[in-house]
Amino acid sequence: METIHKILGVSWQAALITANQVVGYFAGIFIFGFLLYLFARFTRNMFVKSFGQRSEIFITAWIGTPVHELGHAFFCLIFGHTITRISLFRPNAKDGTLGYVEHGYDRTNIYQMAGHFFIGAGPIFFGSSVILGLLYFLLPDGKMIINQFRSNSAALLISGSSFYDLWNVVQLNTREVFTELFKTANFSLWQFWLFLYISMAVSAHMELSPLDIAGMLKGLFVIIILFFLINVLYVVFFTQSQSFIQLGIPFFSYLNQIFVLALIFSFLNFMISFLLGNLWSLLRSGSLVNPFTSYC
């Protein structure tokens, strides 16, 4: 009986540690992924209701869709999946798809199974990286903004701050991004407008499809099991049971700060489509468009 109590105690402690780690690593991905999905859906409703079924294809999809699919493909290669078919941009009027990546994998390979999470979330990671690259190369103060992200993440890594403290940094960086991006001097630069357009086009197509989310959950299940088993070993053999996996959370906080950047442009894309779409609708039919209901 005493042995059973010990096993249950170790399992419970490892489960609590695992839950904290999973939230610290992955909660931001799901939160930002959901918000990006909402803005993308509302923006798509505005485009279709105001300008027609194929309008978004010519405005943002021709840039955003290839970046989305490359995100899937990149992580397929990283995690050893075989890409069987790929189309970076092929709009299909029947099922509404704009592109696809089909891939095969070994179901007995834990690494490849865990990779489903990152392959599914690939458009968020890859799209955010593209926006970060544009920020670095196109805007005079882009390097300063990126360095601020790095310094904040480095400070968090040294201090070992909790997950909840990371959100304070995200909020701070959001204000800094708005201040630096939309200062008066940038409005006279063609690079700023190019950066703004491409960033909005990329962010408009970073949302995850139901198939993407299903793949993420499949990989997340494997990751959770691995975390739990590692934490059981640490609870049994070490006193600092959280320190091993917990160290990676500040690195993911840096990703969360980059996701904020993508979310800003997704919101801007929605607002611009909302204003222009309703202006056009008023001139054409004298009515306003509701972006929060489906166009189907």
Cα torsion for 163, 167, 170, 176, to the nearest 10°?
-140
Among 123, 141, 169, residue whose Cα is nearest residue 266: 123
pLDDT class of 167 with cuts at 50, 70, 90: low
Q: Where are the domains of the chain?
A: 2-61+125-285
Percentage of the residues of the chain whose pLDDT score is greater than 70: 85
What mean pLDDT do residues 65-71 have? Answer: 95
Reported for 229-237, long-range contacts at CB under 8 A and 24+ positions apart, including other chains, are 231/13, 231/14, 231/17, 231/18, 231/21, 232/10, 232/11, 232/14, 234/14, 234/17, 235/10, 235/13, 235/14, 235/17, 236/10
- Cβ atoms of 78 and 115 within 8 Å: the answer is yes
Using the predicted structure, report yes or no on whether residue 235 has a pLDDT greater than 90: no
Collapsing DSSP states into helix, strand and coil, what is residue 163? Answer: helix
- Cβ atoms of 173 and 257 within 8 Å: the answer is yes
pTM of the model as a whole: 0.86
Mean pLDDT of the chain: 83
CA dist 32 and 251 (Å) reads 16
